[in-house]
Each structure stands twice: as structure tokens, then as C-alpha cells.
Amino acid sequence: MGTLQETAYAKLNLALHVRAREADGYHRIETVFAFCEDGDLLFGRESERPSLDLTGPFARELAAESENLVLRAAAMVGARIAFSLDKRLPIASGLGGGSADAAAALRLIARMRGLAFEDVFGFAAAIGADVPACFFSQSARGEGRGDVLQPLGEDLAGTPVLLVNPRRPLSTAAVFAGWDGRDRGPLGDWRAGRNDLEAAAIALVPEIGAVLEALSSAGIARMSGSGATCFALFEQVGARDAAGEAIAAAHPDWWLMRTRLR
């Protein structure tokens, strides 16, 4: 079998309500996951030993990390694959990059072994809380740690999205540690929801506030996950592209991606 490819789709939290801090230190959340058409690209081929080659605009930042979830996924399944990861999404950015990469690795391994995706899905939760959602990369409501999933029940495919990141990595643990502990209520309609981690993230990276201000003309603009990436949803591609051009001109040092929900 030759080289196979999987897309590690960028994950968005359209809303994220933090309900409680559990005794084990984890947090109970309610969220709505959505996924973009674009993301990192993962390639793999059978090999005598597992390996990972990094390319792309954020390869250098990822190489500095001590452990990669792609190799962890392969080790858990017992697969020997030579991976190449085209790292297109910023790291530590609230887009589920590492989790999406691991989920893509599991899907790729299943294809190589002629398995159904469900045959390797059981490994997802053991790798990380967001990996189950990223595995199928379909819009869903998530509860618990984000790993208790149910279908969203509405089709968001094709919705134009603008992603903006101030190029500041942000520790998920640090943001959750900064949450003020207030339960602001359950998540109903995600359009009327919020991200309860925004205040803690802005305290660590004030530029997030500037990004949200730059996106404020859109109908819905929020931070994704624990940040620092923010997103805006648009009704028309033209409006998305115009907003992207204005932000790119005003903030050439920021990272932007123009995409759509899948």
C-alpha cells in the first residue's frame, strides 16, 4: 500500500460553558463542536518503525514539544507507520490541532488495516478529551470533559468562517486554572451561548480582546476552546473575505484562515 492522506480538520467550539471544576482537577463543560473544511494534512505509509516528519508553517513550533499525539496514537494501536505532518494550524491555539492530528492518525491506521473507523474509535478518549469529537469531525454537542457526544441536529455545512489568531500560544491548563469558578448556566441554543474561558484567556493574552473587537462586525464572533484563536461566522463568502482583507491589512502579524464549516 502506498502513501495515504487524512485531513486533521480544524475544530471550533461554537459555544463553551464551563459548569464545574471536578475533584480530579478536570472541568465539566457543555459545548458545541463544529469543524472546518481545512486543517493540517497527515500522510502515512507502512514502515519498519514509526516516525514523524514535520513540514508546514508551524512545524518548528511543534517540533519543540516533547510528545506528539500522532505517535502516541500509533503506539496505542501498535502501528508502525512513517508519518508526515503538514502543520498548517497554529499550535496551542484552541483549534484542537493535536487532537485533530491524533484523530486523523487513527483514521489513517484504520484505512491501512482495512478496518472500520469504529474499530479504532475506542482509542480516541484515552489520547485526549477532544479526540473523540475530532475523530468523526462532525458538528456535535459535547458534555462531560467534551467527550460525551450527541449529534447537533442541524446542518451547518458551507457556513463561511474566518479564523484569526494573534500568533500567541496559550496553555489550556493555564486558561482553565484562570476560570473564576462561576457556573453561568447551561448551554441551550449555541447562538445565544458564550465561551466562559474568554476572560481568563484575555487576562493571559490581551491581544485576544483586540481580535474579538476586529471580528465584532460579524453576527457571531467568539474565541474557540481555550484560545487564542477566535472565529467569526458569516452568511456570505464575500463578507467573510472583506473582513479578512481588512484585518490582514490592519494586523499583518496575525494568522488568518478563510474557510467554511463542513
Domains of the chain: 4-151 (3.30.230.10), 160-260 (3.30.70.890)
Burial label for 164, CB within 10 Å (0-12, 13-18, 19+), is: buried
Count other Cβ atoms within 10 Å, centred on residue 114.
8
User: Residue 115 is inside which H or E element, if any?
Assistant: none
- Taking 70 as the threshold, does the pLDDT of residue 1 lie above it? no
- Taking 90 as the threshold, does the pLDDT of residue 67 lie above it? no
Task: Judge whether 147 counts as a catalytic residue.
Answer: no
Which are the contacts of 246, defined by CB distance < 8 A and separation ≥ 6?
A: none
Catalytic residue among 40, 86, 101, 130: 130
The amino acid at 85: L
User: What is the pTM assigned to this prediction?
Assistant: 0.95
The amino acid at 34: A
Tallying the residues shown for the chain, one arrives at 262
The predicted pLDDT at position 245 comes to: 98
Q: Which tens digits make up the pLDDT trace of 176-213?
A: 999 999 999 999 999 999 999 999 999 999 999 999 99
Which are the contacts of 230, defined by CB distance < 8 A and separation ≥ 6?
A: 163, 164, 165, 208, 211, 212, 215, 221, 222, 223, 224
Task: Judge whether 11 counts as a catalytic residue.
Answer: yes
The pairing of strands 148-151 and 140-143 is: antiparallel
Q: How far apart are CA 91 and CA 111, in angstroms?
A: 26
The predicted pLDDT at position 64 comes to: 78
